[in-house]
Amino acid sequence: MASSEVLTTTGYIKHHLQNLTFGQHPDGAWGIAHSAAEAKAMGFWAVHLDTMFWSVLLGALFIWVFRRAAVRASVGTPSGLLNFVEWIVEFVDDNVRSSFSHKNDLVAPLALTLFVWVLLMNTMDLVPVDWLPEIAKLMGIEYMKVVPTTDPNATFGMALGVFVLTLFYSIKVKGIGGFAAELTMQPFQAKNPILKVLFLPANFFLEFVSLISKPVSLSLRLFGNLFAGEMIFILIALLFSGGAVLAIAGGVLQWAWAVFHILIVLLQAFIFMTLTIVYLEMAHSHH
């Protein structure tokens, strides 16, 4: 962080909202961006290294913990870690059974992966905003955002993955003709062939907008809620530099917001999982 940024509230906020970005500089050289302007100049193909690091690390943690529990599974009464993992698996399985009425062995594992992975990424928002960035700063890393779901690149990436699966199963189950008919034969319907043709553009426009809105809403809902939560934590952290009274008030507010934010962390992971199941249910259903 530049010394001029340290002394200002605006600089502090901008620093905490800046990703560690790797990409191509305007002069053609590849490297790390040292300011928001440099990151912006790198364009679309820039990579947010902190988002990639924490999302991959938390994904690996999820795999390791659940594999360890699976290896220890036995016919006896579960306890400790195994009991906790079984509870999560049963919770996800119940939601899949209640929302997905077709046969597809991919849906339950996908729902479990998305729920736990998004939950772990969201939970990073409960870590005090200065701890990990300051540790990274001591290691020579200028920027460090530790909540991957506050990066729209991460949320859009997951949403696009779900969207691709939705398109794949829509075509696989209904065929190209059936999927095309689904986009052009509803909501306006008519028995008259001429009216059917006239309704095609309007139907396609409405259904196409509805189709595209699924990944957009899925990603922006998760991003918006977690980004707002992170911003509030950053604003509360500013109180600690305003003297003893404001520091005490900041500590109380930080604790209160963290307790409330636990609900948001859990709820957004659950919503992301549930909407994924619903979208795949719609892709398997004939209209």
Query: In the chain, what percentage of residues exceed pLDDT 90?
Result: 77
Query: What is the distance between the alpha carbons of residues 114 and 273, in angstroms, rounded to a whole number?
Result: 6
Q: What's the first-to-final CA gap in the chain, in angstroms?
A: 56
Q: Which of 83, 210, 213, 217 is catalytic?
A: 217
Mean pLDDT of 257-279: 96
- Which structure tokens are listed for 166? 């939705």
Beta strands in 68-191 (DSSP E): none
Residues 264-286 have a mean pLDDT of 95
Angle at Cα 217 formed by Cα 93 and Cα 213, nearest 5°?
110
Active-site annotation holds for 67: no
What letter would DSSP give residue 1?
-
Check residue 1 and give its pLDDT.
Answer: 41
Catalytic one of 19, 55, 122, 225: 225
User: Above 50 in pLDDT, residue 6?
Assistant: no
Kindly state the average pLDDT of the residues 213-219.
Answer: 95
Q: What is the pLDDT of residues 138-150, one digit of tens each?
A: 999 999 999 999 9
pLDDT band for position 4 (cuts 50, 70, 90): very low
Q: Say whether 72 is catalytic.
A: no
Q: Give the pLDDT band of residue 7 (cuts 50, 70, 90).
A: low
* Mean pLDDT, range 258-278, rounded to an integer: 96
Mean pLDDT for all residues in the chain? 92
Q: Which residues contact 234 (CB under 8 A, 6 or more apart)?
A: 12, 13, 16, 17, 129
Identify the pLDDT of residue 3.
Answer: 40
Q: Is 217 a catalytic residue?
A: yes
Whole-model pTM: value is 0.91
**Predicted confidence (pLDDT) per residue in 75-116, tens digit:** 777 778 888 999 999 999 999 999 999 999 999 999 999 999
